[in-house]
Amino acid sequence: MSKGKVLLVDDRPDFLDILGERIAARGYEVGRASSGGEALAAVSGQGFDAVVLDVVMPEMDGIETLKRLRELDPGLAVILLTGYGTSEEVIQALALGAQDFLVKPADLDSLLERVDEAIARKAAARS
């Protein structure tokens, strides 16, 4: 049985593959998207419990993707992940409804702890 359904969004395929395999090995269903547009399409078509979203991406950055994801699904838990986080981005992301903000390379256990918390909150909100 799956612990939850997580969408990983990053423009680096190698990062998506490695993180996706590690999260799947821990019992989660994992979807992958390599752009903000792909993430929006995936969330529209499938019921994800949480999204782990890179901030720095070409075309549509993580902050804009976050805004659009929240419009699609206001209850969706989004955790931002970046190697270039600034305090301004953190404040903006949290104000837009991001669940959390982690800096790469994030510890897998810390990331999954936040994913579990997000899934639990979403489940509680449904009941």
Q: Is the pLDDT of residue 94 over 80?
A: no
Q: Which CATH superfamily, name and number, covers 5-126?
A: Response regulator (3.40.50.2300)
d(CA 7, CA 5): 7
pLDDT value for 34: 94
Identify the band that residue 85 occupies on the pLDDT scale cut at 50, 70 and 90: low
pLDDT value for 55: 86
pLDDT value for 127: 64
Identify the band that residue 17 occupies on the pLDDT scale cut at 50, 70 and 90: very high
d(CA 66, CA 127): 25
DSSP states of 31-73: EEESSHHHHHHHHHHS--SEEEEES--SSS-HHHHHHHHHHH-
Query: What is the per-residue pLDDT across 23-81, written as a single tens digit (0 to 9) for each?
Result: 999 899 999 999 999 999 999 877 788 999 988 888 888 889 999 998 888 888 899 88
pLDDT value for 75: 81
Paired with 52 in beta bridges are 8, 79
Strands 77-82 and 100-103: parallel
For residue 56, the number of C-alpha atoms closer than 13 Å in the C-beta half-sphere is: 9
**Looking at per-residue confidence, does 11 or 122 come out higher?**
11
Amino acid at 64: E
